[in-house]
Amino acid sequence: LFVFRSFHIQTLRNFRRTMARQVTLILFTFALGQISYSVPEEMPKGSVVGNIAIDLGLDVKRLQSGKARIFAGESAEYIELSRERGVLLVKEKIDRELLCRQTTPCALHLQVILEKPMELFRITVEITDINDNSPSFKHGEKRFEISESAVTGSKFVLEKAVDLDIGRNGVKNYSLKPTDNFVLKVENEADGNKKVEMILHKPLDREKEEEISLLLKAVDGGEPQMSGTVKIYVTVLDVNDNPPVFTQSVYKATIAENSQKGTTLTTVSASDADKGINGKNSYALSTSIDSLSDTFQIKENGDVILVGEIDFERAKNYQIDIVATDSGGLSDSSKIIVDVIDVNDNDPVISIMSKSDFILEDSPYNTVIVMFSVTDPDSSNNGRVNCRINENIPFAIKTSSNGFYTLITDSELDRETVSEYNIMVTCSDGGIPSLSSSVSLTLQISDVNDNAPAFERNSYDAYIVENNTPGVSIFTVKATDADWNHNARVSYILEDTSVNGVPISSYVSVSADSGVIHAVRSFDYEQIKDFYFHIKAQDGGSPPLSSNVTIKILIRDQNDNPPQVLYPVQTGGSMVAEMVPRSADVGYLVTKVVAVDVDSGQNAWLSYKLQKATDRALFEVGLQNGEIRTIRQVTDKDAVKQRLTVIVEDNGQPSRSATVIVNVAVADSFPEVLSEFSEFPHDKEYNDNLTFYLVLALAVVSFLFITCLVVIISVKIYRWRQSRILYHSSLPVIPYYPPRYSDTLGTGTLPHVYNYEVCRTTDSRKSDCKLGRAGSHNLLIMDSSTAGTMHNNINSFFEEILTKQTNNRCQSY
């Protein structure tokens, strides 16, 4: 056995120059090649059909990465693809006779599909015939009854041998033995078959030989040659002079496929010149093909009827051999050619070859989504298919020859508008009535980060009352992103700006996830009334997209400041008085109380009221302007000293107030005013405060003095106990008084400070005191009552020094 491999690949660009060659069309928007292989049938499983990697110029890695696969419909059981080797292998042993019967050429049509990018290559594998079937006859024997009066040249139709092989491997020749009375006549028919007849070339004599045995042998043209035989038995009868003769050598009939059983195709007739029983003919099918005898039947009256099922897609015509035999054994043959009329009885078959479940929304035009093929076994218009998809979707079907189609994009996709498409592909044939098939495809649109977060407005105004608690929520910004998943995950970022030279992060903060704006500090309306900043909303895509929004924070005033009186000025020690002449008329302007409130709005609206007055009937205060005027004529009975208490209130909730005291002198001359106001008592409230602070200072000083005294006594006691432990002898200490100690001016002052150097050893019990030079830079002032105490303290001082000196140590005091 050998493998004959032929490979043909051409591109569309060279089509016009290579019309004489096999041409490969480029389908759709991706590569398409065509390869033809020729292999004999009955090859063992695993045999190599062809190396498509080499023949197509593809790398084996490309076959693996592209998930190369074979799409072959029913042919998939015979051929398989080895991605690792890049070769086509025989998957199952192929029997050409079972696969194609007598059809030539016999071929398998395959498609090799690759993905990323999509590529399709057409492969034709022709199955060649080998001589694996011998000629055979339907019956093992054939019997004839021939009258002895049969004339020389009479014909007797013999059964044809059937060889499932084709071409030279089919039936090539027949032979008949012995040839004493009969010879064999073989004629070639138009359909390529052979007509086999047995011719009487020597008269029969029943009396000499009543039974004649013959052997018909059929041989094919294959290597090695194979053959089949059938035995023929001839019984010689008495005289029957005339054989039957068909009225037509060939009968033609037509019948529509799927016709009901019992339908009459045609009626055949044969005439016989004999009379009586010798002129009565019988009809039979002489075909050796079982399928024909199972499909057609001929009645005694010559009617040929349908007894089985016919299908145009399986057989477009039939050739039926018939024979007419009279009672004397003479016969004649004829042929019926039956043409099957196609009926639109097959729906188009849609086969999905490759499909994408997802596609990016920014995919370019003409992106292949689905690749499919459509077949309709019907013929002519009944098999002509037209495919369409539902309307108003951004896809289109691109067609090509050989029933291949692609579904491609023909406009922009937007996942935010439509995230999923249900595509209904409907293919209809051209028959009447038309038949159609549909397949539903679901396509998900994958998101691309093509939408930036969007705020509802370009700017927002937010309000907060001053004196807020740090960390309080002010406002919430919200941005939406039309994308999906992480592309729509929005984060909020505070843009770096400054307010009056201070970073904005010292004023507010924003939550990255929720967009809630918090106050970082407590705001004071009197210092800052409003400020601006920007917040950026950024999505989680790659690269990220963002948008900004402007936030204006307006601080609302709170009534947190009382009114401040600017005039008259209040002083602690001096006294200011306004003079009113006794000749003042009604409405005389005494003075004007001037006050301000740093708050704003109604919190800064001030009103003036007279709270207390020496004579309420003499003065009044303007509610809005604070003007103090007389409300009656000043008389001599009015006191010179007039004290007015004016309260200034704002309009806040709750309101705040301030009080001012206005001293008014009712007099005509300044000396009169001085004499009266020189005896003006101090403010009682001021004196009360002063007394409180004096008492408090005295208490603090007394406490500190007692504390120091207790500490000094404790230290003295501690030192005394230490001296008693370290020193137990009664060695006398002779003090040495400085000669310059004197009572100067009776004040008991020691004007100089002396340094004494004391040394002592414990074993000699001797001590020396050395008087150092005077240090006149420090003075200690004492009174005379402490002179005796000073003397005793010096003695104790030296006694302590002598006690603490051990091991020849020396200290300077």
> CA torsion, points 560, 562, 566, 570, in degrees to nearest 10?
-130
One-letter amino acid at 643 equals R
Strands 349-355 and 767-771: unpaired
Edge-to-edge, what's the strand order for the sheet holding 607-613? 577-580, 657-666, 641-649, 607-613
| CB-CB neighbours of 325 under 10 Å | 24
**What is the helix (H) or strand (E) element at residue 454, kind and residue range?**
strand 454-455
DSSP 192: S
Q: Are 483 and 539 in contact (CB under 8 A)?
A: yes
What per-residue confidence (pLDDT) applies to 258? Answer: 86
Residue 687 pLDDT? 58
Tell which residue, 108, 78, 81, 103, has the closest CA to residue 93.
78
Assess contact for 471 and 460: CB atoms under 8 A.
no
Query: Is 483 in contact with 507 (CB distance < 8 Å)?
Result: no
**Sign (positive or negative) of CA dihedral 771, 776, 779, 785:** positive
Q: Cα(312)–Cα(318) distance, rounded to whole angstroms?
A: 11
718: DSSP letter? H
Phi, psi of 435 (to 5 degrees): -110, 150
| pLDDT value, residue 709 | 92
Please tell me the predicted confidence (pLDDT) of residue 66: 87
Ordered domains of the chain (ranges, CATH): 35-128 (2.60.40.60), 141-237 (2.60.40.60), 245-341 (2.60.40.60), 349-446 (2.60.40.60), 454-556 (2.60.40.60), 564-672 (2.60.40.60)
Q: How many CB atoms lie within 10 A of CB 146?
A: 24
Hey, what long-range contacts does 431-437 have (CB within 8 A, 24 or more apart)?
A: 431/344, 431/378, 431/381, 431/382, 432/344, 433/344, 434/344, 435/344, 435/345, 435/346, 435/347, 435/348, 436/347, 436/348, 437/347, 437/348, 437/349, 437/350
| pLDDT per 10-residue tile (average), the chain, 813 residues | 31 31 31 78 91 89 88 74 90 85 84 85 89 88 86 88 85 90 88 85 84 92 90 83 87 92 92 80 78 86 92 87 86 91 91 90 91 89 91 90 87 91 94 92 93 94 93 94 92 93 93 94 92 95 94 92 88 70 89 90 90 89 92 86 91 90 85 62 58 88 92 90 65 41 36 40 40 34 38 46 41 34
Q: Looking at residue 813, what is its pLDDT? A: 30
End-to-end CA distance of the chain: 132
Tokens of residue 120, six digits: 């399709």
320 beta partners: 336
The pLDDT score that the predictor gives to residue 289 is 65
- On whether the CB atoms of residues 468 and 523 are closer than 8 A, the answer is yes
CB atoms within 10 A of CB 696: 10
pTM listed for this prediction = 0.54
Which residues share a beta bridge with 4?
A: 38
Calpha distance 732→799 (Å, rounded):
9
Would you state the pLDDT for residue 797? 45
The beta strand positions in 260-380, using DSSP E, are 264-267, 270-271, 281-285, 296-298, 303-306, 317-326, 331-341, 349-355, 358-360, 368-375
Structure tokens at 43: 């090859």
Work out the angle at residue 61's Cα, subtended by the Cα atoms of residues 59 and 67, and round it to the nearest 5 degrees.
Answer: 110
Pairing status of strand 32-40 against strand 119-128? parallel
